[in-house]
Structure 1
Amino acid sequence: YRKALPLDQAIGVVVQEAGKSFDPRIVEVLARRYVELERMAQLETIAPLKLSRELPSVNESAPLAGYEGAGAAKPARTAASSQQDAPEFLGKIAAARQEAHALFELAQSLGNSLSLDETLSVLSVRLKRVVPYDAMAVYLKRDHKLLPEFVSGDNFRLFASLEIPMGQGLSGWVAENGKPIINGNPSVEPGYLNDPAKFSTLRSALAVPLGGVNGDVIGVLALYHGERDVFTKDHLRILLAVSSKLSLTVENAVRYQQAEASATTDFLTGLPNARSLFLHLERELGRAAERHASLAVMVCDIDSFKQINDEHGHLEGNSVLKIVARSLTTACRQGDYVARMGGDEFVVVLPGVEADIVPLRIEQLKKTVADSARVETGLTISVSIGAALYPQDGSSAESILDEADRAMYKAKSASRKRAPVTPEEPAWKPVQTAIQ
């Protein structure tokens, strides 16, 4: 850097730049009066202006703009007053550093996992260090509603049961308009306090929208507190800073969940697919071996399914597959497992079922399928079911499934011998509903 020029030389440089870097009219006045102006500047002591640090609540007047009391005369600051302000000044610097460090750690942790539940659990812990709250909820938009994806803190059961239509309530308004709300009323959430027996101590809410990559709102991050008007604009600023990174993390996690589900779930019926079946069956066999328990595996096949497709089309065939999937699931216990192996073949895994119970369970499954199909389609649909047991029929997933598959084909063959089907008469029969 150059050393400061004497005043006369400095004015000479300014005069040379007139019309190039500086306005000639201003330079002319300055060249004529610079000695007088310099003397005036030396005689006058100007107190430094102080920035306003006060942020009123949203329910009060608007915050001061610019400098605090810029038009009023201020006394000159003394060394003593500067020393008194030093601790406060240093404290604010330390608080700002702590906030920046906490936000940095939070941003780093948000990208560490593709598990949405794990990510939001970390968020709930670390966000509380910079924004105090008593309850937190993350709602995701699904079919024109906001559904709670993660809830923690006070009244978590109430929040976990909410289904908020877009545009309604506090969070619904935030999602619909893409704008935050500070110090809103939590009780306006649809369904939150509809029951007179419910009571909440929460009095304030701070909610911000979560925007997707394409600009659409994918959800809402909401914080709740027991005190009124407790959230400040600083809290809002922090939450908005977090929401941008959180939005991307949530969107990536949701896509990962969808991709993972599509890899393990049958798209048509919503049941686990063959890949999921093998993984689950291996786990169940290991558990049965440890406990010396029994395990039954049943393979179910829809009789004459090809004829249904040929006569009624694939849409009707798809409907039959969905009905069979729902029927098998309905007829099973809570711990049982139903999967679609492929085509018109389903597999049911029944932990703890002994050999003497298997025939009864087979008849229950067949009856449930037939009754549901008759009510929903008007067709008589039957299934052939074969069963295999652990440990007597095999000890691995492949051997158990092979044995159950062979038993199913034996049952199908026996059924055909008992009720032969002629070319003129299909295996499935429409139920006669008209009066004869």
Structure 2
Amino acid sequence: MLASAMAASPSTHRSSSPPSAGSASDEHGFPPVEPALSLSRWLALVAGGVVLVAVIGWLDYVTGTDVGLSLAYLVPVTLSGWLAGRRAALLLAAVAAVAWFAADAALHRTSYLPVSVWNGVTRLAIYAAIGLLAARVRRDRLRLLDLNARLARALEAERTLARTDALTGLANSRAFFETLHTETARSRRARTPVCLAYIDLDNFQRVNDRRGHAAGDALLRQVADELRRAVRDGDVVARVGGDEFAVLLWNAEPAPAEEVGRRIVSRVAAVAACYPEADVGASVGVAWFAVAPDDDEELLRLADEAMFEAKQGGKHAVVLRTGS
């Protein structure tokens, strides 16, 4: 049965602008990707940008007509758009255009006023466009980072669900056989023991027949909890069939492995005491190899045989078989 479950399992070889109260999404309906700036921080960034514009304007005036610094105003405008959002970018663009116009007028670079005004307006348009572009690029970058993080979390959640038994929360057969393949390969490389316990619940169908499937599901969840408690933290417990479970015991010797099997039988019997009319119990087959065989099927087959021997011997028992 355990070997057939492995055959059925999938084969896998080796987890902005200043804050506005109550704003839950942007104009495209996307939720915010970062906490909104506090008003005080936004004002501080804008004030810093204004100071930088003032310094550049002063340098523009001091250097006279020989050196053109109109592009230098893009630095505070771009930084404001990147750090504080679109409104800050537009505000700094206006301040930068005024500063450039003031320096230009003071130096009489352009004798004809309409031309000077036109030049100031074109610079305002350029500064605003660059500032808005910086704000948009940063917003889109943050959105992409957020979407990537969400996608990674969703993929990890799907991966976990694909490897988890929905009823008991244990590893499912796919996860178990993936782990088994990895650990048998490790056993062969490191020459360490490998041990597999196969558990089949005796007379489980009677619970379904006499008390209904809800009671059967409750029993399976109870058994799963007891199996977790019966093994070490590093051991892998899985539900591999309807009333079939498997435990992969890390680096266990035969005697301790057999003791784990007896503990499982005892814990299942304690749970089954709530269903006296069904005589539920556990037959446990334990297969142990000093080094994992080349074919995982051999380990599974030996655990199967040990479990059937336990059933034929009267059920509610554990049988240990060792391989060579």
Q: Fold match, TM over 0.5?
A: yes
Residues 45-95 of structure 1, C-alpha deviations (whole Å, 9 max, x = no match): xxxxxxxxxx9834969979xx99xxxxxxxx96845667829x5374499
Task: Name which structure has the greater RCO, CA cutoff 8 Å, separation 6+.
Answer: 2
The amino acid that maps onto 1:346 is F
The answer to whether 1:332 aligns with 2:231 is: yes
The answer to whether 1:90 aligns with 2:72 is: yes
**Aligned CA distance change for structure 1 residues 349 and 95 (closer, same or farther; 3 Å):** farther
Please list every run of 5 or more consecutive structure 2 residues that lacks an aligned counterpart in the other structure.
1-37, 52-59, 85-133, 318-324
Aligned equivalents of 2:255, 2:42: Cα separation in 1? 72
The amino acid that maps onto 2:251 is G
Residue pairs, 1:248-263, within 5 angstroms: 248-263=147-162
What percent identity do the matched residue pairs reach?
27
2:198–2:307: 8 Å Cα contact kept in structure 1? yes
345-354 vs 393-402, which deviates more? Answer: 393-402
**Aligned CA distance change for structure 1 residues 61 and 276 (closer, same or farther; 3 Å):** closer
> Given the two structures, how large is their TM-score scaled by the length of structure 2?
0.56
CA RMSD of aligned residues (A): 4.2
In structure 2, the partner of 1:285 is: 184
1:337–1:350: 8 Å Cα contact kept in structure 2? yes
The answer to whether 1:403 aligns with 2:318 is: no
SS at match of 1:343: coil
**Aligned CA distance change for structure 1 residues 367 and 82 (closer, same or farther; 3 Å):** farther
The amino acid that maps onto 2:240 is M
Aligned equivalents of 2:39, 2:225: Cα separation in 1? 58
Residues 360-388 of structure 1, C-alpha deviations (whole Å, 9 max, x = no match): 22111112233345479998641110011
In structure 2, the partner of 1:224 is: none
Aligned equivalents of 1:251, 1:90: Cα separation in 2? 39
Please list every run of 5 or more consecutive structure 1 residues that lacks an aligned counterpart in the other structure.
1-54, 69-76, 101-129, 132-234, 419-436
**Aligned CA distance change for structure 1 residues 57 and 357 (closer, same or farther; 3 Å):** closer
**Aligned CA distance change for structure 1 residues 286 and 59 (closer, same or farther; 3 Å):** closer
What is the aligned length?
220
The amino acid that maps onto 2:234 is G
**Aligned CA distance change for structure 1 residues 81 and 285 (closer, same or farther; 3 Å):** same
**Aligned CA distance change for structure 1 residues 267 and 330 (closer, same or farther; 3 Å):** same
SS at match of 2:285: strand
1:305 to 192, 196, 204: 204
Residues 204-250 of structure 1, C-alpha deviations (whole Å, 9 max, x = no match): xxxxxxxxxxxxxxxxxxxxxxxxxxxxxxx9998755442233223
The amino acid that maps onto 2:299 is I
Aligned equivalents of 1:61, 1:407: Cα separation in 2? 75
Aligned equivalents of 1:258, 1:91: Cα separation in 2? 48
The amino acid that maps onto 1:299 is Y
1:338–1:347: 8 Å Cα contact kept in structure 2? yes
2:265–2:316: 8 Å Cα contact kept in structure 1? no
In structure 2, the partner of 1:266 is: 165
Report runs of 4+ in structure 1 exceeding 6 Å deviation.
59-64, 82-85, 235-239, 375-380
Residue pairs, 1:18-417, within 5 angstroms: 57-58=40-41, 80-81=63-64, 86=69, 89-90=71-72, 92-93=74-75, 96=78, 240-374=139-273, 381-391=280-290, 394-416=293-315
> Given the two structures, how large is their TM-score scaled by the length of structure 1?
0.43
Aligned equivalents of 1:57, 1:407: Cα separation in 2? 72
The amino acid that maps onto 2:202 is D
Shift of 1:262: 2.5
Residues 6-37 of structure 1, C-alpha deviations (whole Å, 9 max, x = no match): xxxxxxxxxxxxxxxxxxxxxxxxxxxxxxxx
Residues 144-165 of structure 1, C-alpha deviations (whole Å, 9 max, x = no match): xxxxxxxxxxxxxxxxxxxxxx
**Aligned CA distance change for structure 1 residues 91 and 381 (closer, same or farther; 3 Å):** farther
Shift of 1:96: 4.0
**Aligned CA distance change for structure 1 residues 410 and 251 (closer, same or farther; 3 Å):** same
Residues 248-267 of structure 1, C-alpha deviations (whole Å, 9 max, x = no match): 22332232122222322211
Shift of 1:310: 0.8
1:297–1:350: 8 Å Cα contact kept in structure 2? yes
Which has the larger share of strand? Answer: 1
Shift of 1:343: 0.9
**Aligned CA distance change for structure 1 residues 82 and 279 (closer, same or farther; 3 Å):** farther
**Aligned CA distance change for structure 1 residues 90 and 247 (closer, same or farther; 3 Å):** same
**Aligned CA distance change for structure 1 residues 336 and 268 (closer, same or farther; 3 Å):** same
